[in-house]
Structure 1
Amino acid sequence: MTATNQALDGDRPPPVRPVFSVETCKEICHLLSDLPMSIIGFVYTLFMISVGLGLSVTVVGLPLLACGLWGSRQLGRFERGRARLLLGVGVEEPTPLPGPQRAGGFLAWLWASLRDPVAWRSALYELVRLPWGLLAFTVALVGPIVLWPVLPYVVRALANVDRALVRGLLSPSDALERRIAELESDRGVVVDTAAADLRRIERDLHDGAQARLVALAMGLGLAKEKLLEDPEAAAAMVDEAHGEVKLALQELRDLARGIHPAVLTDRGLDAALSSVASRCAVPVRVQVDLPARPAEAIEGIAYFTVSELLQNVSKHAGARSAAVEVWRSGDRLLLRVSDDGRGGAKASGAGSGLAGLMERLDAVDGVFVVESPEGAGTTVTAELPWRDRTPAGPAAPTAARSVRRS
Structure 2
Amino acid sequence: MSSQTAPWLTIIGIGEDGFDGLSPAAQSALQSASLIYGGARHLELLNGAAEDISCEMKAWPSPLTKGIEELASHRGQNTVVLATGDPQWFGIGATLHRQFSTEEIEVIPHLSAFSLAASRLGWSLQNVETLSLHGRPLDTLRGFLYPGARIIALTSNGAAPGEIADLLADEGYGASSLTVLEHLGGPQEKVSSCEAEEYNGEAAELNTVAIEAKPIPNTPVLSRTPGLPDSAFRHDGKMTKQEVRAVTLAKLAPIPGQLLWDIGAGSGSIGIEWLRAGKDTKAVAIEPLEKRRVFIRGNAAALGTPQLQLVEGKAPEALDNLPQPDAIFVGGGLTSTGILKTCFDALPSGGRLVANAVTLEGEQVLAEGWKKFGGELCRIAISRADPIGGLTGWRPLMPVTQWSLVKS
- Comparing both structures, which one devotes a greater share of its residues to helix? 1
TM over 0.5: no
Larger radius of gyration between Structure 1 and Structure 2 = 1
Q: Structure 2-normalised TM-score?
A: 0.25
- Comparing both structures, which one devotes a greater share of its residues to strand? 2
Q: Structure 1-normalised TM-score?
A: 0.25
Question: Higher RCO, 1 or 2 (CA under 8 Å, sep at least 6)?
Answer: 1
